[in-house]
Structure 1
Amino acid sequence: MRVSPTRLLSLASGAALALAVPAGAQTLPAIFPQPVSAKLTGNDLALGRKVVLVHAGRPDTEADALVRRILTGAGVERIETASRLPARLDGTYVVLGTGDTALVRSALARTGTALPSQDEGYALASRALDGGTLILLAGKDGDGLYHAAQTLRQIVRGPAVPALDVIDYPAMPVRGTIEGFYGKPWSMAERASHIGFLAEMKANTYIYSPKDEPFARDRWREDYPAETLKALGGLVDTANRQHVTFVYAISPGPSICYSSAADLEAIRRKFKALRGIGVRSFYVALDDIEYTKWNCPGDEAAFGAPGEAAAASAQARLLNAVQADLVAADDHGSLIMVPTEYYNVTESPYKATLRKELDPRVVVQWTGTDVVPPAISVGDARAATKAFGRKTLLWDNYPVNDYGQSAGRLLLAPYARREAGLSADLSGIVSNPMNQEAASRPAVMGLVAFAWNDRGYDADRTWQASARYLANGDPQVTAALLAFFDTQHLAPTFGTQPWQPQAPRLKALIDRTRDALALGDAATQADALAALGTAADRLATAPDLIRAGVTVPGFVAQSAPWLEATALWGRALQLTVSGLAAALDDAGGGDTAGRFFTEAQRLAAQAAAIQPIPGAVRPEGPIKVADGVLDVFIQDAPNLVLATGRAD
């Protein structure tokens, strides 16, 4: 951010408005996720050319490196290190450490700041003291310290930092993503980039569970090839350094024999190999499988006739054995499972048996009131706690697009319709993202912001912040992205009714135009067509701005067919607006309007025929852009006005 007499505030339409700020006024920077508390305490503080970095105890390598990058990027030319603060400050000092050190406790006292007691909590304080500046990054633990450094990254304004206090901690202990979709898995490079993104957003969990990864599902009994295991080890190291827990998931359900000692040993061998590369948290997925028949005769002998209760009993025995292994390893690992009945809270023999027999330390995942629920309430979460006998970890199937109703779509609407207060009744939330990693980030950013501070979460504000993040702060690119996001706003369920509408901003302008044409007032018609024409121009030019200006690797390539189609739909809308204007103009005539309408419909047909990148997503289908809104209006437009004049 820059110190400036103006601030650009993003409007809901995606445009920007410059608001004058009185000279010398201080403004609170935007911090995402929304912190528990943030307040200004004085004038902005110049960092200067030299900064002394003071470590309390053993430095966190990644936090130290991040702070150094922030300072260097802000124009600091020289960074020195020290292990104590002078009695009087004679320059800029940045203290990094945790609250169990005397140095941090002393710095907290000097700034008059309190450190929160919650895990992953932190305090960030910046003050003019004596003749210098003190910037304190204090963590309740190492994770909290790293989160404090991520907040510092957001608040530095060019060569200065605001004088403020931030007291912050997460509402939910687990926040992140599960790569749990069907179709083409992410590449190792995409995963590493995504983990870095999670770290920036103060998320702490990445679950490796791609459905089409053969050694985790279909060939789960087999050892990983050495090269693959090495690549996974690099990914685990990336996550560990950035304070993100890498959770390895195995999906043995389609073929496992629960009573087989050999199958249990295969899981143990697989987990031992993963433990050898640094994994400490594990997951057994038992979703999307048949549970009213056995995979081997031994299971019927051990657990009785196949059925819901027998399946739950078999699963509990397997999971309890794996949980006992983790305890015996004494590496503070954890075990998560997703049950076969992973959605709804309806009481059943399966849930009752699992609730009774499953080790209470095993974390249970739940997707809500449906596979893709339209909303999740506090009452829903409380019912899930009762059904499973523990707080559940929400597997939120948004923005995943691997099911029939999502064919041809990117899901770019804001994360919404999850009730504030869920933090009291969930152990956390993870998002199941799209096959398109970078394009998943707007929704994921909303989800992790909600999980951090559900009571302070603002869906639309975070959605706009995600566009600024992708645009690296460029206002034009941000506006282009928001226009593009609007065309991909529809969020489907497994049913016929979406839980978020398609293109609400564009639809409002189209509805206004339809009403103006129906009312027949010339001034109202002209105003409505002008506003719609501006939106059409924005839509037509947005793809080029996005291609040139988005800085997140992968976003443009992954979104390529949708960007191509959006440009065509934007041009078609431009021509449609011109056709309506010509039809309303007595001097224009029907022939001119007709030519506009014909060309618009030709481009619309061309756009509607664009296909996704082969193999990039499952299921495939024609690319959809503001469908049900834009296509319908372009088709209807020639019948909305009867041109009575003559052609030029």
Structure 2
Amino acid sequence: METRLTLLFATAVCLCACSGSPSGAGDVRDAEDSVAGDVLPRDSFDAASLCPTDVPLSERVPLLPQPFAVYRWGEPVALNGTRLEVIGPGEDAAAELDALAEAAGLRQGGNGEGDVAVRIQLHDEADWAALQTVCSLDAGVIPGAYFLDVEVKGTTLVVHLLAGEETGRFYGLKTLRQVMGAGLAGLPDVRPGREERGGGGQDATESSPASGRSVRIFDRPAIAMRGLIEGFYGTPWGPKARLDMVALAGELRLSHYLYAPKAAPLINTAWMLPFEQDDLAHFEALAEAGRRHHVRICLEMHPSWLFHYSSDEDMAVLLGKFEAAVAQGIDCLALAYDDVSDKLIPPDDQAFADYTAAQADFVPRLGEALRAAHPDVALVYVPVEYYTNHPRAATAWPVFAAALPDYWEIAWTGREIGNTAISLADAEEAAGMMQRKPLLGDNYPVSDDANKTGVLFLGPLVGRSPDLLQGLSGIAFNAMPLPYSSLPAVATAADYSWNPQRYVPAESMRSASRLLGGKEGADALYTLAMANRCAMLEGSAAPELAEAVAELWESIEAKDAPDAAALALREQFFVPYRSVQDGLASEGVLPGLAAELVPWTSKLTAYGKAGELALDLLLEQAGGKVTAPGKVQDLADQAEALEALLPKPTGKIMDEFLDRVLLELEGK
């Protein structure tokens, strides 16, 4: 039966003073499709009724990012044929509510019998303040805190969402979307059974119904700046992909995006040339997308060639480039000298004692000019000495600390350019020399050119201490040239940066895989991600696979029966590998992600098939059977073909395993 959607908005004044139907032409959207009798009256607000009475759950729940405190997490209830009603000051949340309704399969039309109505009450700031006071909840001062209470009452899913500002409501609705089993917003919904709007296809509720559950969540971010950096060496993202990534950053509760690709000439070697009109139009589109998705857009200038610190003309050119970006709505600016030569060119070599002195003179003057014109603009400085163990960091950082006003953030990547681990002590050491908390630009999951190296970093963020954020002014993660392929790792990084105390890498990757892969693709995406990890961080691209392979060889070398070790290798790795390609071809996978990953999914699937054949032949040999020469040759052909392919899922583990199996079969 066709379902019905009625979205009703009352003004905040009316909602605070009255109940019943809102009045005024501007208070009801889609008024021609609704009737006054559909309006649910606003409950008088009793803050005490929402106060948590239990301690937060100790286990994680399947949400990303993991909320600050989850007090209730019930069993899912199917919401087929639901009707959605919204009450409260929701004009700023209209787009999110529309997206939630569509993703949940809610449609305008007849009211079907037995419907489970979903009622969302968006509370105002006064209710939010009352809740904090009555329930002794500390929301802190960082934007984005919210309280979400969802309860199944009879046939109605009753939702209370409280927040102190628009960003908190935005984040709360994102969490509600996951609670209801809906997919990502911001991009076309491709859950199984979903047709494009207006396509006349089968209603999604018939094949992939949304669900709801009773939950109670109090949530707040651990740090204000949680960013995504496009700062790699390699082909920059295309305009559409970049806009998609801004939308997805909002989905993941990331607060900032930095435009800084090293291969974009006009912000790097061609810094002296004006932006093209297409660039300016794209910056405007980015700024608009950022506002819509609650992501602050930052632009970096990286004058890496022929720059004169003593030149008023060069200063004016750089200011002009920044001003052009600000005119398009960008209000976060970065001046970066990472990986730039520290040799001064004439006349700077006569004007300054050294490179540090030149920057200590130039950067504050640039900041003064920008802040005089734009007092609220955010400024970030990336020195040549951007990591602790740089030979000059200990001498240069105190100079910059003395020269730069507090409104300058100073970026830092850790003790090294790329780091196995970063701790609070590392951050505090840097802060002591910078005289301010550093802004961590984490070089994970960056891999500069996967299409040339075959290396992707899809695995979860590891090695960052739970208390690290206490020593930072912000944290941002440097993505890969393949934008959508960056998302599995970035999603876990977003999880960590929102709530590091509850972060568990493997469980976070499970949540990220569900979010990005949908119900049908989640297992395949998880399997692929865990076979494409960063060896620098974890010692291997697939540590568990390496351990399982080692156990197999140990049993063979010890003359023990290898059956148990072979079975574990088959069931835990090769069988899942074999299904990766089909799993990531399902309709539930995020658009763009599956397409980028095809070379890696196809090779890992082939590794699964070759691995199973290799185990069959090894077990035949161990059992005293004669292996058929044709099968051995088939395995040799597969191994040779796979080794020749560029993508490197599992690193060298599978190639070396297949090579050794062939040697064993040959008796060598």
- Identity rate, percent: 25
Counterpart-to-counterpart distance in 1, 2:97 and 2:551: 50
Which residue in the other structure is 1:578 paired with?
Answer: 616
Distance in 1, matches of 2:617 and 2:155, equals: 68
With over 3 angstroms needed to count, the CA separation of the structure-2 counterparts of 1:153 and 1:130, relative to structure 1, is closer
* Distance of aligned partners of 1:180 and 1:43 in 2 relative to their CA distance in 1, 3 Å threshold: closer
Look up the match of 1:4. none
Matched AA of 2:218: I
Write the distance in 1 (CA, Å) between the matches of 2:610 and 2:70: 46
Cα gap change, 1:110 to 1:128, in 2 (>3 Å): farther
Aligned CA distance change for structure 1 residues 598 and 357 (closer, same or farther; 3 Å): same
Aligned partner (choices 336, 351, 356) of residue 302 of structure 1: 351
The 1-side partners of 2:155 and 2:135 are apart by 18
Select which of 177, 186, 193 maps to 2:228: 177
Q: Report how many residues are paired.
A: 572
Aligned to 2:71: 39
What one-letter code is carried by the residue in structure 2 that aligns with 1:589? V
Give the C-alpha shift of residue 188 in structure 1.
Answer: 0.8
User: Partner of 2:642 in structure 1?
Assistant: 607
Give 5+ residue unaligned stretches, structure 1: 1-26, 80-89, 493-497, 612-622
Select the residue among 407, 413, 418 that pairs with 2:453: 407
Alignment of 1:235-634 (within 5 A): 235-291=286-342, 293-297=343-347, 299-304=348-353, 307=354, 311-330=355-374, 332-344=376-388, 347-402=393-448, 407-474=453-520, 477-492=521-536, 499-522=538-561, 525-534=562-571, 535-549=573-587, 551-586=589-624, 588-590=625-627, 592=628, 594-611=629-646, 623-634=647-658
User: Hey, what's the Cα distance between the residues in 1 that align with 2:108 and 2:449?
Assistant: 53
Kept in 1: contact 2:63–2:511 (CA 8 A): no
Residues in 2 aligned to 1:76 and 1:237: alpha-carbon distance in whole angstroms: 28
* 3-state secondary structure, aligned to 1:520: coil
CA distance in 2: counterparts of 1:564 and 1:46, whole angstroms = 35
| 2:88 counterpart of 1:55 | yes
Q: Which moved further from structure 2: 110-119 or 174-183?
A: 110-119
> Displacement, 1:548?
3.6
In structure 2, how many angstroms separate the alpha carbons of the residues matched to 1:30 and 1:570?
28
- Equivalent residue in structure 1 for 2:62, among 30, 37, 41: 30
Contact 2:269 2:304 (8 Å CA) reproduced: no
Change in CA separation of 1:112 and 1:355 when aligned onto 2, cut-off 3 Å: closer
1:142-153 correspondence to structure 2 within 5 Å:
142-153=166-177
Give, as a single letter, the amino acid of the residue that structure 2 aligns with 1:94.
I
Aligned AA for 1:601? Answer: A
* 1:599/1:486 CA distance change after superposition, 3 Å: farther
> SS in structure 1 opposite 2:476?
strand
Secondary structure (helix, strand or coil) at the match of 2:579 reads helix
**How far does residue 230 in structure 1 lie from its aligned partner after superposition?**
0.9
1:187-198 alignment runs, 5 A limit? 187-198=238-249
Contact 2:132/2:138 (CA < 8 Å) preserved in 1? no
How far apart are the structure 2 equivalents of 1:556 and 1:41?
31
| 1:219 corresponds to 2:270 | yes
Q: Deviations 1:111-133 (Å, cap 9, x if unpaired)?
A: 96847233221111235789976
CA distance in 1, matches of 2:60, 2:667: 54
CA deviation after TM superposition for structure 1 residue 295, in Å: 2.7
Work out whether 1:139 is the aligned partner of 2:169.
Answer: no
| Alignment-mate amino acid for residue 641 of structure 2 | Q
Partner of 1:10: none
Moved more, 527-536 or 209-218: 527-536
**How many Å separate the matches in 1 of 2:226 and 2:366?**
24
- For 2:216 and 2:230, the matched residues in 1 are separated by 36
Question: What is the identity, as a one-letter code, of the residue corresponding to 1:239?
Answer: G
CA distance in 2, matches of 1:420, 1:400: 22
CA drift at 1:337 = 1.3
Report SS of the residue matched to 1:530: helix
- Say whether the 8 Å CA contact 1:119–1:141 is kept in structure 2: no
Report if aligned partners of 1:488, 1:626 keep a CA contact under 8 Å in 2.
yes
Aligned to 2:98: 68
Task: Give the match's secondary structure for 1:125.
Answer: strand
TM-score (norm 2): 0.79
Cα deviation for residue 212 of structure 1 reads 0.6
Tell me how far apart the structure 1 counterparts of residues 623 and 518 of structure 2 sit (CA, whole Å).
43
Q: What CA distance in whole angstroms lies between the structure 2 residues aligned with 1:631 and 1:601?
A: 11
Does the 8 Å contact 1:571/1:600 carry over to 2?
A: no
Name the counterpart of 2:205: none
Distance 1:109 1:395 in 2: 34
* Structure 1 residues 76 and 633: alpha-carbon distance in aligned structure 2, compared to 1, 3 A threshold: closer
Please tell me whether the aligned partners of residues 55 and 95 of structure 1 are also in contact (alpha carbons under 8 angstroms). yes
The offset of 1:201, in angstroms, is: 0.9
> Per-residue CA shift, 1:367-400, capped at 9, x if unaligned?
1111111111111111011121210111111111
1:410-444: CA deviation from partner (whole Å, max 9, x where unpaired): 11221001011011101121111111111111111
Partner of 2:535, secondary structure, is coil
| Distance (whole Å) between structure 1 residues aligned to residue 479 and residue 73 of structure 2 | 39
Amino acid at match of 1:543: Q
Amino acid of the structure 2 residue aligned with 1:303: F
SS at match of 1:559: helix
Q: Which deviates further from its counterpart, 137-146 or 435-444?
A: 137-146
Asked if structure 2 preserves the Cα contact closer than 8 Å seen for 1:480 and 1:546, the reply is yes
SS in 2 for 1:440: helix
Give the match's secondary structure for 1:53: strand
1:5 maps to none
CA 1:572–1:398 in structure 2 vs 1: closer, same or farther (change >3 Å)?
A: same
Counterpart code for 1:95: Q
| Partner SS for 2:335 | strand
